Amino acid sequence: MEPNKLEEARRLFYLGLESQTQGRLAEAENLYLRSLSLVPDRTSILTNLYVVLIQQEKYEAAIVYIDKVLELSPEDAAAWFNKAVWLSGRQRFQEALSCCDRAIAIKPDYAEAHYNRGLVLGKLKRHVEALASLDQALAIKPGYAAAFHYRGDVFNTLGRHEEARASYRSALGSGGNADELHYCLAALGADATPAASPPRLVADLFDKYAEVFDQHLTSLQYHGPQMLFDAVSAAAPAEGWDIADLGCGTGLCGPLFRAVARTLTGVDLSPNMIKKSHERKVYDRLIQGEVTEFLRTRAATFDLVIAADVFIYIGDLGPVFDGTRRALRRGGRFAFSVETHEGAGFVLQPSRHFAHSLPYLRECAASHGFVETSVTRVTLRKENGQDIDGAIVVLLLRDS
């Protein structure tokens, strides 16, 4: 290789490294690509390039360079680890497990690979093996908060709640995400019940979930949007309603409610869910944001507000009812699904879903000017082979 070309490639690489360190990721990507054009088979450049692409969530581009690294350097444990993460994000868990095993065979003390192996085994419902992998990660890296956290999740799934609580407390003591961990503990009765799920937790969950969300709900026999539509569609006027779809997700309600909509607006916390909703091309407007904040700024704008499988993440529904009352025109309707329980008020369940009692919902309705049109007991979906009980509720805003 010409000395001048090699020197220029090196110069561009170090400029890219500086840009990446300072958070100028697009600039770093460009510099690495220019460096790579001069020395196409340099694994250090390829590695930094795929890392900066992952940092920008350009996952499909990143895998090309991960595979190139593995082609040139099949004993690169970090590349096998990153390929496992990429495969996991696409629900290709068996392949991901093989990649974790390759990374660990190359580098047995690779704590992150043992942790990721635990995550993958959990997704494959091989929970006892998952615990063994997580324990191995913790043996290598004793203060590994993420491993303690997921260990708690696995124990929770197995119904071993005392061990789950202990793992969550260990994660807290190791510097894990306090909001999430207190929420997990609350779901197990070991902390105060919050008013809602942490917004950042919900947004992150669905950002990661967006690509496989529809497929996953199909596997759960989920029919919430259809049940909501069936509960209200007969009342639709010929000219249609102005509709707000709270927590619209990937837009599963959109194609159904488009048929009775004059205008259709969706709102969701997750940017990636909003992107998926855009792809359906049925919404007039899509807004990324928190639902109560959205409702507060839309006085007398809608004839129908819907929320399908949203209130499993909100316990105290008072602010939602208040915002909906303000956002609806006189005679407007509010239709939603909830998980139900037979006690009082609302509870946060071990599943980390909120469930609401029907007396609580009726109290919220009455205190915010709604009258009950219908409440239908339903099976919302199946989880772990069990029916999840719930209700489809339709309320009417009184004229005065």
Q: Which amino acid, residue 281? A: K
Residue 308 and residue 252 in contact, taking contact as beta carbons nearer than 8 Å = yes
pLDDT mean across residues, the chain: 93
Confidence at residue 382, expressed as pLDDT on a 0 to 100 scale: 77
Measure Cα distances from 204 to 154, 234, 274, 311 in Å. Answer: 19, 36, 13, 17
* Length of the chain as a residue count: 400
Cα(188)–Cα(167) distance, integer angstroms: 12
Residue type, 237: P
Mean per-residue pLDDT, 348-361: 95
User: What is the β-pairing status of strands 241-246 and 302-307?
Assistant: parallel
Q: What distance in Å separates the CA atoms of residue 55 and residue 311, rounded to the nearest whole number?
A: 32
User: pLDDT tens digit string along 31-75?
Assistant: 999 999 999 999 999 999 999 999 998 999 999 999 999 999 999
Residue 16 has a pLDDT of 95
Task: Supply the pLDDT for residue 32.
Answer: 95
CA atoms of 136 and 150, how far apart (whole Å): 13
H-run or E-run covering 392: strand 386-397
216 pLDDT band, cuts 50/70/90, is low
Strand, coil or helix: 379 = strand
Structure confidence at residue 387 as a pLDDT band (50, 70, 90): confident
Assigned fold of 203-397: Rossmann fold (3.40.50)
- The pLDDT value recorded for residue 206 is 66
pLDDT band with cut points at 50, 70 and 90 for residue 135: very high
Distance CA 235, CA 3 (A): 77
**What's the whole-number mean pLDDT along residues 70-94?**
95
Is pLDDT above 80 for 212?
no
pLDDT digit string, tens, across residues 259-315: 999 999 999 988 888 998 999 999 999 999 999 999 999 999 999 999 999 999 999
Residue 201 to residue 343: CA distance in whole angstroms? 27
Q: Is the pLDDT of residue 199 over 90?
A: no
Instruction: Work out the average pLDDT over 144-165.
Output: 97
Closest CA to 145 of 174, 124, 166: 174
Domain boundaries, the chain: 3-187, 203-397
The CATH number of 3-187 is: 1.25.40.10
Phi, psi angle pair for 342, to nearest 5°: -95, 0
pLDDT at 2: 64
Residue 352: which region, alpha, beta or left (left: phi > 0; alpha: psi -120 to 50)?
A: left
CA end-to-end span of the chain, whole Å?
82
pLDDT mean over 373-391: 88
Whether residue 307 contacts residue 394, with contact meaning beta carbons closer than 8 Å, is answered with no
- Residue 156 tokens, joined: 């929770």
The string over 44-63, giving b where at least 16 C-beta atoms fall within 10 Å of a residue's C-beta and e elsewhere, is ebbbbbbbbbbeeeebeebb
Task: Indicate if the pLDDT at residue 211 is higher than 70.
Answer: no
Indicate the pLDDT class of residue 200, thresholds 50, 70 and 90: confident
